[in-house]
Chain A
Amino acid sequence: MTPGEGQTLLSARALTKSFPGTKALDGVDFDLRAGEVHALLGENGAGKSTLIKCLTGAIRRDGGDIVLDGRSIDPRDTLHAQQLGIGTVYQEVNLLPNLTVAENLMLGRQPCRFGLVSRKAMNSQAREMLAQYGLSLDVTRNLDSYSVAIQQIVAIARAVSLSGSVLILDEPTASLDRDEVRMLFDVVRGLREKGLGIVFISHFLDQVFEISDRITVLRNGKLVGVRDVAALDRLQLVNLMLGRELAEETRHHGRTGIDYSTEPRLRFSGTGRRGAISPFDLAIQRGEVIGVAGLLGSGRTETVELMFGAAPMDSGTVSMDGKALRLASPRDAVAAGFGFSPEDRKTSGIIGDMGVRENIALALQARTGWMRPVSLRRQRELAQDYIRRLDIRTSDMEKPVGQLSGGNQQKVLLARWLATNPQFLILDEPTRGIDVGAHAEIIRMIEELCTGGMSLLVISSELDELVAYSHRVVVVRDRAHVAELMGEAITSESIVQAIATQHGATATGQAAS
C-alpha cells in the first residue's frame, strides 16, 4: 500500500501564496520521500507555516500543484487533507484534555454496539494502537493526567491512524525536556521505518541534525535549498538560514567611531530571568547601535522584553547615565525615555481599530498621563509630520492602522516612539515582512537616528542589515549572550560562526572584550 522507500510521496511545485502587503510563499517547491524525516527550517516569516497550511488545506494556495502518491490533490480543509493521508500534530496539542486517552484516539469513529458506544471495544482498540508505539497507558484516564510528551505521542498515534502516509510535526518538541524528546524521537524513527514521510519543523538545530535525513530551508517566502543532512554541518546550515553562501566573501563590516571611555547612557549589569535569558552585561553609549543576532528561540526577544520591563527580571541592576533605574513595567521604561517596537506588530504593536493619528500619539499620551491630554491639534501635527517624514502611505490620518500594509504599520510604530523623543529605542525585527522600499527606508532611519545621538538596539535575522548599521553585535544562543563583535570584527561570516558554534566550543578569536 505504501510506496517503496525513497520514492517521492508528496511533492509541491511552485506554491504561491500572498497576503496583503507580503508574498508569504513565492514559487516554493517541496519534496517528501517515503521513509524519511524531512526538516523544514527558516526564521519567523520565512514561510514555513504558510507552506504547511497550504499542504494541509488550512489556507488555500494562490498557485502551484500538490501531488500525493502520484495523484494531484487539492485539500479543501484540514479534515480533507487528513482523509487524503496528510496528518498534522501541532506544538500545542490539539486534542481534548478532559476526555480519556481512548476517547481522544477514537473520537469520531468509536466502535458501536446497538447504536451506543462500546467502551470496552474502544478501550481495547486504543490500547492496541498505543502498544505499537511502545506505550502502555491506562487509556481510561483523562488525557491531561499525562505529560505533554505522552499527549504528543497520543496526538501522533491519532494522526497516523487517521491519515497514514504523511505526518507533519509542527514544533513538537518546543515544550519537552531532553528525555521526552528522546522518547518522541524513538516514535518518529519507528514511523520512518514503516515508510511514512515525516515533515519535522523545529528551531532546535541539534534536534534537526539528530532526527532528519534531509533539510529544506526557506527564507522570505523563497526556497533557499534542499540538503542531505549527512553532507551538511551547522555552519553551512546557519548560513543557509540567515546569510549568504560562504563562497561569496563579503567585505562589509560594522561601523566604528563610538567613544567607549565616557559613562554609558545605559548599563545593564547581570540582568536576567530564569528560564528566559541568562544574566548578561550590556552597556550602551550615546549614538550607538547595538545589533542582536541569533536564531528564533535563542533568547533575543526575551533579552529585549527584559530591557523594556515587559518581563520582570529576577537578577541584576540597570542604570541610566550613572543613576540606578527601576524597570518593573513598560511604564517605567517609557517614563525613562525608552521605546520598543515589538516583533509581533499585530498582537503587541498596533492598535488595529484606531487611526494612524491616535496610534502615533499613544505612547506620548501614555507618558504625559491622562490628565494632560495631547491636544487634537498637536496630535494632527505629529501625525502629519511623521506621515511626511517616514513616508507613511495612508489615505488619511484617521484610517485604521490595521488596514495599512506591514511596512506602513511598522513606520507608524516607529513614529509612535519617535514622537516621544526617546533616549533609547529597541526595534525587534523592524524590517520583517515588509517590502523592499520600506525596508531601505527603515535602515536609513536607523542610521539617521543614531547620528542624532539616540541609542538603539536592533534585533534582526538579516545579517547584512545588522552588519551595515551596528557598532557592536551581540550574539544570542541557547538563551544566553555568547559573543560580542565590534567594529571591524562584524561580518556576516563572523556572526554566523558565533551562532553556529556548538556548546562548549569558544567563538574563535573575534569575541571582543
Chain B
Amino acid sequence: MKGGAVRFLRRIAPQLVTLAVVLAMIGMVFPGFFEISMANGRLYGSPIDILNRGAPVALLAIGMTLVIATGGIDLSVGAVMAICGAVSAAAITAGYGLAATLALALGAGLACGLWNGLLVAVLGIQPIVATLILMVAGRGIAQLITEGTILTFSDEGLAFLGSGTLLGLPTPVVIWLAMGALIVLLVRRTALGMLIEAVGVNRRASMLAGVNARLLVVTVYMVSGLCAALAGIIVTADIRGADANNAGLFLELDAILAVVIGGNSLLGGRFSLVAALFGAVIIQAVNTGILVAGFPPEFNLVIKACIVLAILLVQSPALQGSRLLLRKGARLS
C-alpha cells in the first residue's frame, strides 16, 4: 500500500510542481492573489475562482482521459455541452421539473456518447473522424433546439447548479470534485481501469484474452458524453441561458490539453485521472493569471500558448532524453 502511495505521488509530481510554479508566478505579479475570505457561508478569492471557472474543462478532462486511454479521442465534447445546455434550458422553460430537466440533459449526453461509441467500436471508424461528425453536427442540433436564439430561463433551482453555494464552495466546484472522485473510485476500485489500459495498449491481444473491448470503448465514450452534459448544464445554469453558438466552444481542445499536461499519452494505455484534473486546474490558473496580471486582452492567447509550450517542453521525453545524454556525456568525458 505504501509503495502505491509513493508511486502515485511520483506520477503526479510534475503536475504539482507545474501548478506551484504557475501560482507562484501569478503571486509575484499580484501579491493579493492567494487571499481567501469567507462571506455568507461561501469561500471567496482567486484560488476558489480558478476551481470554479475550471469546472467545465475539469469535467471534460475526466471523460477525455478515459477515451484517450483506450487509444481514442473525443472531439465532440464542446458540441455535446451545447446540446445538453440547450436541452436543459428548453426543458425547464417548457415547464418540466428540475429532476426531469436534469435527466433529459444527462440522457442527451449519454445518447451522444453512445452514438460516438457505436461509430468507433462497432463500425470501426477512426475516433477523430467519428467524433468530428458530432462536433460539427452537434452545434447545429443545439441551434435547432434553441431555435437560433439564446434561450433564457429564470428557474432558481437550475441556476443554483451554476452559481449556487454548496458546502461553502461554488456548486460547480463540488460537482467536478464529486464526479472526479466518483470516476476515480469506479475505475480504480473495480477492474475497469486496468481493462481500459489493456485495451488502449493492445486491443487485439486484450480481446484474445477475453476482454470485452467493444463494450469498454462504448462505455468510455458514454462517460465522456455524461461529463460533457454536466459541463453543459453548469455553463448554461451560470448564465441562465443556453447559447448554442458559444457554449463549450473550443473546450474540447482545452480538455485534450488538460489530459496531455496531465502526462497521459495520446496513444492510449496508462492514464491518471488525478493528473489530468491537475492539468485542467493548471490551464485555468494560467487563464486567470493572465487576466489578473492586467495584460491587454489581445495578449491572452499568445501568452497562454507560450506557457503551455513551456509546460509541454519540460515534460517532453525527447528533452528529458537529451538531458540524460548530456549527463552521460559529461561522465564519459
Contacts and interface: CB of A to CB of B under 8 A. Distances in A.
B202 interface: yes
Given A347-B202, A352-B201, A352-B202, A358 B208 contact: no
B204 interface: yes
A250 to B, nearest CB: 35
A350 B197 CA distance: 13
B194 interface: yes
Interface string A320-355: 000000000111011100001010000111111110
Contacts of A308: 208
B316 interface: no
A377 to B, nearest CB: 10
Contact of A363 (B209, B269, B270): B209
B279 to A, nearest CB: 21
B205 interface: yes
A1 to B, nearest CB: 47
Contact of B209 (A330, A369, A370): A330
A6 interface: no
Interface residues of A, number: 34
B209 A358 contact: no
A371 B194 CA distance: 12
| Chain B, interface SS category | helix
A100 interface: no
A234 interface: no
Contacts of A368: 191
Contacts of A348: 204-205, 208
B321 interface: no
Max chain B Cβ within 10 angstroms of own Cβ: one of A353, A370, A373 = A370
Contact of A362 (B204, B209, B269, B270): B209
Contacts of A361: 194
A374 interface: yes
Contacts of B202: 347, 350-352
B270 A334 contact: no
Nearest to A373: B191
A416 interface: yes
A59 interface: no
A366 B201 contact: no
B270 A373 contact: no
Contacts of A439: none
Given A351-B198, A353-B270, A354-B198, A366 B210 contact: yes
Interface string B205-230: 11111111000000000000000000
Contacts of A367: 210
B191 to A, nearest CB: 4
Nearest to B204: A348
Contacts of B205: 347-351
Contact of A353 (B190, B192, B201, B207): B201
A416 B270 contact: no
A340 B4 CA distance: 32
Interface in B254-277: 269-270
Contact of A310 (B197, B198, B208): B208
Contacts of B189: 373
B204 A358 contact: no
A435 to B, nearest CB: 23
A401 to B, nearest CB: 10
A150 to B, nearest CB: 29
A366 B191 CA distance: 9
A370 B192 CA distance: 5
B195 interface: yes
A376 B7 CA distance: 15
A366 B210 CA distance: 6
Given A358-B194, A370-B192, A334 B201 contact: no
B105 to A, nearest CB: 27
Interface string A357-388: 01001110111111111101000000000000
A412 B197 CA distance: 18
Given A365-B194, A370-B192, A331 B201 contact: no
Contacts of A331: 210-212
A352 B200 CA distance: 11
List 9 tightest A-B contacts by C-beta distance, closest first.
A334-B210, A366-B210, A373-B191, A366-B211, A363-B209, A370-B191, A353-B201, A351-B201, A362-B209
27 contacts: A308-B208, A310-B207, A330-B208, A331-B211, A331-B212, A333-B210, A340-B208, A347-B202, A347-B205, A348-B204, A348-B208, A349-B205, A351-B197, A351-B201, A351-B206, A353-B269, A354-B198, A354-B201, A354-B269, A358-B194, A358-B197, A362-B194, A365-B195, A366-B206, A366-B209, A373-B194, A376-B4
Given A331-B210, A347-B205, A362-B194, 13 more contacts: A308-B208, A333-B210, A334-B209, A348-B205, A349-B205, A352-B202, A353-B269, A353-B270, A362-B211, A363-B210, A366-B209, A367-B210, A369-B191
